[in-house]
Amino acid sequence: MKACVLETAAPIEQNPLAFTEVPVPEPGAHEVLVRVHACGVCRTDLHVVEGELPPRKLPLIPGHQIVGVVERLGEGARRFRPGARVGIAWLHHTDQSCEYCRAGMENLCDQPSFTGYTVDGGYAEYAVAPEDWIYPIPDGFADEQAAPLLCAGIIGFRSLRLSGIKPGGRLGLYGFGAAAHVAIQVARHWNVEVYACTRDQRHRDLALELGAAWAGGTVDPPPVKLDSAIIFAPAGEIVPAALAALRKGGVLALGGIHMSPIPPLDYKLLYQERVVRSVANNTRQDGNDFLRIAAEIPIKTQMQIYPLAEANRALNALKNDAIRGAAVLDISGF
Ligand SMILES: [Zn+2]
Ligand SMILES: [Zn+2]
């Protein structure tokens, strides 16, 4: 099969992904082989390709927002029939036996595996995944539209949950890429007022189109105090500005898997019971809940589509804030 393979992590400007031919993977017990139609491009892929996340498997096929159809069943797999349209997301597998899994917090599992990081992902014609960790894709979404829902959407949704935002509340979104452009649609559905802080004018325009009450620069103070905020940009230097924008008791959720160092904080930014918390992975419950609400709204994802062979170019564009909405690889077009 055709695939984009990472041999050695390197800056994306060096085009580290090789478009090449590799064997089709074999589904193991209780796994399915999925023929990939589309795979979303996530900032985490950039962190993996550039080595900001320490390599866990090399060579590696990145990609964890996979939409395709079940091609073949591994031994004992019976949840889906061949031809069923499914999504494979970041959380590839959890052990179900550690203290976190047993407490309903499989997102914090001690022995997790992650799609496109510890196991091969979807920058390829085929991918395998355990049947219990994949999602049926709601009918209303085209393949390319559904792909960004699987990480940008699910993680954005968990970030909203952990931010504690309530209907009618005021929410700040810092960085306005793929995750924020989905999260704002859920927030507006909940009648939340959204304030977008982002350095790129095109991203500010998109936020306003999607119903933001206000859009400004990354550290510009919003015109009102916020109940909650989410930082999606991987930039720790935003934390003090986002805390300063919160009301007393407000919550700041950090949505990224990687962030540059957070500068020293003046305690008065945190005092008055403000909370800073990170968001790590997601549970399958988050995924199922989000896909249901995404179909109800329905979420409209904005995409820029690249052929599989041009994954390096898509990641370069992502790094340079040049994607409006989400980047998606069309696997059928190579
Ligand atoms: Zn576990
Ligand atoms: Zn992701």
Ligand with minimal distance to 152 CA: 2
53 CA to centre of ligand 2 in angstroms: 13
Ligand 1 centre to CA of 20 (Å) is 35
Do you find a cis peptide bond into 112, omega within 30 degrees of 0? no
SS3 54: coil
**180 alpha carbon – ligand 1 mean position (Å):** 28
What six digits make up the tokens of 191? 């009648």
157 touches 286 (CB < 8 A): yes
CA of 334 to the centre of ligand 2 (A): 21
Nearest to 297 by CA among 208, 189, 168, 211: 189
The token pair that represents 61 in the structure block: 């096929």
Q: How far is 123 from 17, CA to CA, in rounded Å?
A: 10
State the distance from the centre of ligand 1 to the C-alpha of 326, rounded, in angstroms: 30
| Ligand 1 center–CA 101 separation, angstroms | 4
Which ligand neighbours the alpha carbon of 116 most closely? 2
Computed on alpha carbons and rounded to an integer, the radius of gyration of the chain in Å comes to 19
* Distance from C-alpha of 100 to C-alpha of 93, rounded to nearest angstrom: 14
Compute, in angstroms, the gap from residue 112 CA to the centroid of ligand 1.
7
CB 93 within 8 A of CB 66: no
For the record, the structure tokens of 118 come out as 């510890």
Alpha helices in 120-271 (DSSP H): 143-146, 152-163, 178-189, 201-209, 239-244, 267-270
Rounded to the nearest angstrom, the distance between the alpha carbon of 171 and the centre of ligand 1 is: 32
Please tell me the distance between residue 272's alpha carbon and the centre of ligand 2 in angstroms: 33
| Per-residue tokens: 30 | 């209780």
Q: According to the model, what pLDDT value does residue 332 have?
A: 84
- Cα angle 92, 32, 279 (rounded to 5 degrees) comes to 15
CA distances, 143 to each of 44, 81, 94, 247, 295 (Å): 21, 18, 26, 40, 14
Q: Can you list the residues of the chain whose pLDDT is less than 50?
A: none
Please tell me whether residue 186 adopts helix, strand or coil conformation.
helix
For residue 102, how far is its CA from the centre of ligand 1 (angstroms)? 7
Flag whether the pTM goes above 0.85. Answer: yes
Ligand in closest contact with the CA of 105: 1
| Cα 218–Cα 221–Cα 224 angle in degrees, nearest 5 | 130
Q: How far is the CA of 63 from the centre of ligand 2 (A)?
A: 8
pLDDT of residue 94: 98
Q: Are residues 92 and 130 in contact, defined by beta-carbon separation less than 8 angstroms?
A: yes
